[in-house]
Amino acid sequence: MTGEIIDGKNIALTIRGEIADEVAALKAKNPAFKPHLAIVQVSDRKDSSTYVRMKLKAAEAAGILASYIHLPEATSEQELLSRVDMLNEDPTIHGIIVQLPLPSHIDEDKVTSAVMAKKDIDGFGPVNIGELNKKNGHPYFLPCTPKGIVELLKRSNVTIAGSKSVVIGRSDIVGSPVAALLKSLDSTVTILHSRTLDIPSYLKDADIIVVAIGKPEFVKGEWLKENKRNPVVIDVGTNFVDDATKKSGYRYVGDVEFNEAIKYVKLITPVPGGVGPMTVAMLMENTLIAAKRELETGGKLCEFKPLPLKKLKPVPSDFEISRVQKPKDISRIALEAGILPSELEPYGATKAKVNLKLLDRLKDREHGKYILVTGITPTPLGEGKSTTTVGLAQALGAHLKKTTFANVRQPSMGPTFGIKGGAAGGGYSQVIPMDEFNLHVTGDIHAISIANNLLAAAIDTRMFHESTQKDAAFYKRLVPSKNGVRKFTPTMLRRLKKLGIDKTNPDDLTDEEISRFAKLNIDPESITWRRVVDCNDRFLRGITVGEAPTERGFTRNTGFDISVASECMAILALSTSLSDMRERLGKIVIASSKTGEPITCEDIGCAGAMTALLKDTIKPNIMQTLEGTPVFVHAGPFANISIGANSILADKMALKLAGVDPELPEDIKRENVGYVITEAGFDFTMGGERFLNIKSRASGLIPDVVVIVATVRALKVHGGGPEVKAGMPLPAEYSNENVELLRKGCANLAKHIGNAKQYNLPVVVAINKMSSDTDLEHQVIREESLKAGASDAIVSNHWEEGGEGAIDLAKGIIKVTNEESNKDFEFLYKTEGLSVEEKITAVAQKMYGAKDVEFTEEAQRKINLYKEQGFGDLPVCIAKTQYSLSHDANLKGVPTGFTFPIRDVRASIGAGYLYALAAEIQTIPGLPTHCGFMNVEVNEDGEIDGMF
């Protein structure tokens, strides 16, 4: 029997014709549609030049524009990488091919990996190969040769599902991906390679044999003789062998002994004329796919177009408003914001992560204007900071046509399913889709939880093993031998450096050095690191761990915090780069040794793994408002015990994107500068103080103006009005005009204005309008605001009118940022030269109005310990109630003369501050009787109902 030849050349010609027809049809609908391929060749290798000519010819036949970049062999690796980067960032280029092989002085893997995944039409870059090999992966492109092989099989009517396939060769370009593809099509696949013993035995019952081993005529025809299935053989090899009968002096042969193999097979590909033409055809098809994707997602950096609002009266529920508005594709939002496709990592259609390399690209830009939104002391009903932040962004971006970003924290599941609700804003000033915003976003909080709990598990495990083993045995297991060699891990080398042990060979340590290095001797009573969970669960506030018999009685009392209270979350918010985050994670102090030395995450050996878990989390997320302006959603540190602000990296990205070319004339800069509106948790005295003294200290970014949000309702509460409770009817004082009560309550607003002015920053009061307000009440707030030192106080109706209702506020902020300066900014206290007690006292007296500060014995002991451990020069964060300027939620208005209690002080060394706890502050909230989750359902269309 003689097998039939699979004519790859003819099949490829047919496919190229189909591609040409589709390109022509799409061009007829959209003349701007121009699929564009870039081919980069380094050197003058004859074989490479031949392949490039084939690709250029195929592109022309398919109606695809092809740019040929021919570089000399002496081109450096960096020059080549720079050229690839240029092609990555060129929106007119849809596909990039780097012709292999490259000269020996260039790292092929490094160069091919540099090609943007969305333009990697070869399909063997790390992202596409990685996705291909995942169980439910989604590569942008299938590798061309493996894809061509599968297409050959399909068009030759070969049944793949249920077949037995053997792939000879395990390269990342052909062998491994073709095996993955065949497996995904339900073939049972066996991968062989050059070191596999008795290869013929594997071929006896194979239905499909793919040979890609790179050795001329490696598979002998005789090997197929015993196969009774009449296999299909796909020969991927392209080898040159000497042949004096040829004019060129050589001829092409495959990896299969063709003349003998054809006797025992059903189908076989020739060389040349088999797989080779299909590879080129698949390159063209992948280029077309890339161009079609670009067409569907906006195509290039483009002009901003706002989403129109369909406003109704009365205003529907927040969720109804969110669901009615159809968001733009997130790639469009990114393009409008100035984010290149290569810098965007989409998570579905409405949210994405932004790569930190954007900061390198825009490093020379001057920053945009930086607006900090805070509030007066809130009531349980909330005063609309998030709504104001979003409404102001919509006004500046959608109505005044300024490049604008709203920067907010990611909500925790705790409040979302508890009683507070989400944090997307409200009315016609929201982040959308609000369900995706309030549920998970891109999973950052979950990554924080895993990283935090990995360290918690590592601590208990380390204590257990140290307690059950002697030094020598423990050291042997801690630094094990692999293949006869013992090596310190990078994190172990860091610990050795900390201990002053200048040795890198584990076998060189003395017994005393082994003991110092290996045994941390953690004092269980000093452990401050707790496990976390992202929900309100009061029954986890205190637990006992180690109850299982396997733990041999090593129990201890501990508890859980809510995930957003984890120091890992604060580190995420305050990190300025991935390497900075790695260093901060390593500096986390989890306990003290029995001799009083601080024990860090680096000592435990966990920092590298935690960084791995958080390496994607550090990339800010981008979403949009109801009117289609961009929103960075990143980090969510607990506002009671942490800084309560979004990330430094999100702010830096937004400020660069909203920035201007430093070489522009000043009048042009002023006209073109954009705005970044960032929010601080709770009121200015808590969120604003921490923002300036901790976040700004770490970032070097100083706000151009502070916006303090106030409502008539809240100011009446602080004027002595009746108590308000969420879900309960409002007393009449809040729905009727009461100027006397309001003016008295304005003392609270005045205190916040005065507090902000202590930093020498301009202040604008945003009067968040409610339907029961009167013009006279608004006038009273304006009068009292100006009297207290505010630059302006402006009524804003963004909840009811969206961005249109905040135009006056936006114009007022533009005016203030143009006319007033933050150049005289100064911190509330110096970190060096002041004791921890003095810094806490400065905040309590200058911000809260306390007369004295009282430290419990435990708090003072902790302060003394941290000073001894070298942490006395850090800034301080004070955890207290948000419902009063003081520590007592019942003290409204502007309490004075009180003694401020500090019951405990803890260290967040990785985040870079100490935090003091005033009175009783819960680090994991509890659920109310009627919980938010009780209202939530999912309808038959998969839409969430009843969330808010």
CA distance 197 to 609: 38
The pLDDT-based confidence of 300 (bands split at 50, 70, 90) is very low
pLDDT for 867-905, tens place per residue? 999 999 999 999 999 999 999 989 999 999 999 999 999
In a domain, 368, yes or no: yes
Which residues are catalytic, by number? Answer: 55, 99, 122
- Cα R_g (the chain), whole angstroms: 33
**Amino acid at the residue 649:** L
Mean pLDDT on 112-121: 92
Residue 299: is its pLDDT beyond 60? no
Here the tokens at position 337 are 């914001």
The residue among 499, 584, 11, 449 whose CA lies nearest residue 269 is 11
pLDDT for 204-249, tens place per residue? 999 999 999 999 999 999 999 988 888 999 999 988 888 778 777 7
Report how far apart, in Å, the C-alpha atoms of 185 and of each of 14, 138, 162 are. Answer: 23, 15, 9
Tell me which of 614, 648, 664 is where a domain ends.
614
Here the tokens at position 854 are 């009282």
Here the tokens at position 714 are 């809240």
CA distance 859 to 371: 36
Strands 589-592 and 344-346 come out as: unpaired
**What end-to-end distance do the CA atoms of the chain give, in Å?**
73
Residue 419: is its pLDDT beyond 70? no
Residue 124: is its pLDDT beyond 90? no
Mean pLDDT on 666-670: 83
Same domain (yes/no): 115, 153:
yes
Same domain (yes/no): 595, 622:
no
Strands 705-710 and 36-42 come out as: unpaired
The pLDDT-based confidence of 382 (bands split at 50, 70, 90) is confident
The pLDDT-based confidence of 948 (bands split at 50, 70, 90) is low
CA distance 255 to 175: 13
Q: Please answer whether residues 741 and 733 qualify as being in contact, where contact means their C-beta atoms are separated by less than 8 angstroms.
A: yes
The pLDDT-based confidence of 768 (bands split at 50, 70, 90) is very high
Concatenated DSSP letters of 424-456: SEETTEEEESHHHHHTTTTTHHHHHHHHHHHHH
Report how far apart, in Å, the C-alpha atoms of 141 and of each of 62, 108, 117, 630, 674 are. Answer: 19, 19, 8, 29, 37
Report how far apart, in Å, the C-alpha atoms of 316 and of each of 313, 322, 323, 559 are. Answer: 8, 10, 11, 41
Same domain (yes/no): 534, 449:
yes
In a 3-state reduction of DSSP, which class is residue 784?
A: helix
Report how far apart, in Å, the C-alpha atoms of 821 and of each of 106, 366, 763, 825, 887 are. Answer: 51, 16, 11, 9, 33
In a domain, 925, yes or no: no
Strands 598-600 and 352-354 come out as: unpaired
CA distance 373 to 706: 6
pLDDT for 543-588, tens place per residue? 999 999 998 888 999 988 888 889 999 999 999 999 999 999 999 9
In a domain, 355, yes or no: yes
Here the tokens at position 696 are 């700004």
Mean pLDDT on 784-808: 97
In a domain, 806, yes or no: yes
Mean pLDDT on 646-671: 89
CA distance 291 to 95: 8
Q: Which residues pair with 904 in a beta bridge?
A: 917
Q: Please answer whether residues 272 and 263 qualify as being in contact, where contact means their C-beta atoms are separated by less than 8 angstroms.
A: no
Same domain (yes/no): 75, 49:
yes
Here the tokens at position 571 are 């580190």
Tell me which of 819, 850, 876 is where a domain ends.
819
Report the share of the chain in percent with pLDDT over 70.
95
pLDDT at 713: 93
475: number of CA atoms within 13 Å, CB side? 17
Sign of the CA dihedral running 222, 224, 228, 232:
negative
Same domain (yes/no): 498, 430:
no
Here the tokens at position 572 are 């995420």
Could you tell me the CATH number of the domain that includes residue 876?
3.10.410.10
In a 3-state reduction of DSSP, which class is residue 128?
A: helix
Mean pLDDT on 326-349: 93
Strands 763-768 and 556-558 come out as: unpaired
In a 3-state reduction of DSSP, which class is residue 688?
A: helix
CA distance 942 to 225: 56
pLDDT at 305: 93
585: number of CA atoms within 13 Å, CB side? 29
Concatenated DSSP letters of 203-240: TTT-SEEEE---STT-B-GGGGTT-TT--EEEE---EE
In a domain, 330, yes or no: yes
Could you tell me the CATH number of the domain that includes residue 431?
3.40.50.300
Alpha carbon dihedral 215, 221, 225, 230, in 10-degree steps, equals 80
pLDDT at 125: 86
User: Angle 911-415-717 (CA atoms, 0-180°, nearest 5)?
Assistant: 100
Q: What phi and psi, each to the nearest 5 degrees, are found at residue 521?
A: 55, 55
Q: Please answer whether residues 221 and 233 qualify as being in contact, where contact means their C-beta atoms are separated by less than 8 angstroms.
A: no
The residue among 81, 638, 711 whose CA lies nearest residue 384 is 711
In a domain, 667, yes or no: yes
Q: State the total domains in the chain.
A: 4
* 473 Cβ contact partners less than 8 Å away, ≥ 6 residues apart: none
Same domain (yes/no): 124, 265:
yes
In a domain, 649, yes or no: yes
Whose structure tokens read 């040795």? Answer: 503
Same domain (yes/no): 883, 796:
no
CA distance 117 to 99: 16
Strands 95-98 and 267-268 come out as: unpaired
In a domain, 930, yes or no: no
Here the tokens at position 607 are 């920092």
The 10 Å Cβ neighbour count of residue 503 is 14
* 329 Cβ contact partners less than 8 Å away, ≥ 6 residues apart: 297, 298, 349, 350
Q: Please answer whether residues 163 and 187 qualify as being in contact, where contact means their C-beta atoms are separated by less than 8 angstroms.
A: yes
The pLDDT-based confidence of 931 (bands split at 50, 70, 90) is low
Could you tell me the CATH number of the domain that includes residue 166?
3.40.50.720
Same domain (yes/no): 436, 499:
no
The residue among 572, 635, 683, 632 whose CA lies nearest residue 431 is 632
Same domain (yes/no): 630, 774:
yes
* 747 Cβ contact partners less than 8 Å away, ≥ 6 residues apart: 718, 719, 893, 894
Here the tokens at position 484 are 């006869």
The pLDDT-based confidence of 296 (bands split at 50, 70, 90) is confident
Residue 297: is its pLDDT beyond 60? no
Mean pLDDT on 630-639: 91
* 245 Cβ contact partners less than 8 Å away, ≥ 6 residues apart: none
pLDDT at 51: 84
Same domain (yes/no): 632, 590:
no
- E-strand ranges in 638-791 read 675-679, 705-710, 763-768
Concatenated DSSP letters of 35-78: -EEEEEEES--HHHHHHHHHHHHHHHHTT-EEEEEEE-TT--HH
- Rounded to the nearest integer, the mean pLDDT of the chain is 91
Could you tell me the CATH number of the domain that includes residue 570?
3.30.1510.10
Here the tokens at position 255 are 């990896």
The residue among 107, 109, 111 whose CA lies nearest residue 40 is 111
Tell me which of 238, 264, 295 is where a domain ends.
295
Same domain (yes/no): 135, 162:
yes
Same domain (yes/no): 704, 844:
no
Concatenated DSSP letters of 505-568: -GGG--HHHHHHHH---B-GGG----EEESS--GGGSSEEE--SGGGTT--EEE-EEEGGGSHH
Full domain range(s) for residue 633: 318-442+616-819
